């Protein structure tokens, strides 16, 4: 099993956090405009075992699904078992209109599952079951080809911590074109993170997305300092040279988007919450689509909050598309 090890430049972020960074215009903002961008969710495809029954999920798989709802070519890059749950997962992804070509099959390890309970406020609690297929993703020629044509990729901590997938995820990131947008959706789960893992991941990306509780956890681990969410986000932004946007979601209280020159504070979109599983992943998908398209940060924020709120009003991480909602969000991102 491969494990991240500290290197000479993997130090706490305190000193880096106060240095002045000379930033240039984002390379992907000047890239060729496309009708559909190739947006990859790299990581876990699994089944959320809710009290109401199993629902297909996994943060990065959810992300790819929501990117497809926004008109992009969303692709799930993951691994499932050669079992009934794996067959059903692949069939569901295909039914939702996504390619299944980057979903690997594992003859040894079963398809991933997560035990989920839902609190009275709709907030989920996860227990991730170990020894499953997505923990053993492999670097393959097919993934190399996909990485070379991807316009954006999103990954999280879970598939890079104490996992056989570390090598495959790292190789995927290293094979991306310089113009590809890299997004780190932190998604702290159980004990599947460390300061070294967080630091290494943050060094590789342009955008980081985390919720307010996660920022309060990450801040001390990286010695960021800061008295409030915005100041902590700004210190995080300054600590990593390629980082251009820090996104902090706050549940019903909306979000905070912070760049070196701008802060967008959104109050949130009121909905009747069923469960919040997948809402953050929908938010990140809108963020990716809007950022690739060069949309103003205010529009990106509005679109991301609307899509995330709609998902929170549904059951499970990949609800069937509501065309009215999806069209409205796409129009916001495209300035229609």
Cβ atoms of 101 and 42 within 8 Å: the answer is no
Residues 6 or more apart in contact with residue 44 via CB below 8 angstroms? 58, 59, 60, 61, 78, 112, 134, 156, 158, 159
The fold of the 34-334 domain, in CATH, is 3.40.1190
Counted residue by residue, the chain has a size of: 336
Structure tokens at 306: 């609307």
- Quick one: which H or E segment has residue 197? helix 195-202
User: Would you call 9 exposed, middle or buried from its count of C-beta atoms within 10 A (0-12, 13-18, 19+)?
Assistant: exposed
Q: How confident is the model at residue 2 (pLDDT cuts 50, 70, 90)?
A: very low
| Angle, alpha carbons 82-86-90 (nearest 5°) | 120
Comparison of pLDDT for 124 and 220, the residue scoring more? 220
Cβ atoms of 238 and 18 within 8 Å: the answer is yes
pLDDT for residue 53:
86
- Got the DSSP string for 87-151? HHHHHHHHHTT-B-TTEEEESSSPPEEEEEEE-TTS-EEEEEPSS-GGGG----HHHHHHHHH-S
State pLDDT tens for residues 263-313.
Answer: 999 999 999 998 888 899 999 999 999 999 999 999 999 999 999 999 999
Which range among 8-17, 54-63, 92-101, 242-251 shows the weakest confidence by mean pLDDT? 8-17
Comparison of pLDDT for 330 and 13, the residue scoring more? 330
pLDDT for residue 119:
76
Place of tokens 């969000």: 329
- Quick one: which H or E segment has residue 4? none
Output the pTM of the full model.
Answer: 0.89
Q: In what order do the strands lie in the sheet with 112-118?
A: 53-57, 46-50, 112-118, 124-128
State pLDDT tens for residues 144-200.
Answer: 999 999 999 999 988 876 567 999 999 999 999 999 999 999 987 767 778 888 999
The span from the CA of 81 to the CA of 185, in Å, is 25
Structure tokens at 2: 């491969």
Q: How confident is the model at residue 10 (pLDDT cuts 50, 70, 90)?
A: very low
**pLDDT over 70 for what percent of the chain?**
88
Q: How confident is the model at residue 260 (pLDDT cuts 50, 70, 90)?
A: very high
Q: Is the pLDDT of residue 26 over 70?
A: no
Cβ atoms of 286 and 329 within 8 Å: the answer is yes
Phi and psi, residue 177, nearest 5°: -65, 150
Residues 6 or more apart in contact with residue 151 via CB below 8 angstroms? 28, 31, 34, 37, 38, 39, 179, 180, 181, 292
Cβ atoms of 13 and 199 within 8 Å: the answer is yes
């Amino acid at each position: 099993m491969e494990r991240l090890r500290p290197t000479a430049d993997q130090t706490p972020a305190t000193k880096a956090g106060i240095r002045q960074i000379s930033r240039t215009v984002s390379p992907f903002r000047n890239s060729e405009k496309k009708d559909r961008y190739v947006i990859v969710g790299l990581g876990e495809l699994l089944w959320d075992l809710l009290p109401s029954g199993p629902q297909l999920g996994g943060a990065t798989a959810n992300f790819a699904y929501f990117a497809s709802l926004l008109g992009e070519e969303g692709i799930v890059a993951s691994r499932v078992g050669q079992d009934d749950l794996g067959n059903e997962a692949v069939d569901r992804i295909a039914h939702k209109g996504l390619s299944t070509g980057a979903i690997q099959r594992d003859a040894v390890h079963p398809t991933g599952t997560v035990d989920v309970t839902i609190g009275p406020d709709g907030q989920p609690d996860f227990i991730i079951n170990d020894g499953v297929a997505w923990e053993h993703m492999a670097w393959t020629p097919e993934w190399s080809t996909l990485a070379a044509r991807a316009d954006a990729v999103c990954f999280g901590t879970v598939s890079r911590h104490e996992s056989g997938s570390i090598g495959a995820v790292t190789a995927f990131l290293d094979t991306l074109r310089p113009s590809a947008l890299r997004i780190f959706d932190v998604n702290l789960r159980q004990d599947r993170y460390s300061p070294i893992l967080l630091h290494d991941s943050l060094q590789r990306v342009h955008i980081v997305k985390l919720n307010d509780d996660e920022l309060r956890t990450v801040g001390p681990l990286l010695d960021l300092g800061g008295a409030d969410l915005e100041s902590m986000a700004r210190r995080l932004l300054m600590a990593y040279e390629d980082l251009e946007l820090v996104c902090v979601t706050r549940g019903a209280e909306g979000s905070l988007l912070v760049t070196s020159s701008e802060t967008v504070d959104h109050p949130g979109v009121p909905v009747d919450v069923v469960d919040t599983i997948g809402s953050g992943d929908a938010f990140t998908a809108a963020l990716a689509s809007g950022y690739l398209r060069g949309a103003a940060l205010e529009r990106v924020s509005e679109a991301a909050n609307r899509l995330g709120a709609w998902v929170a009003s549904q059951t499970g991480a990949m609800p069937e598309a509501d065309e009215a909602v999806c069209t409205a969000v796409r129009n916001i991102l495209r300035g229609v």
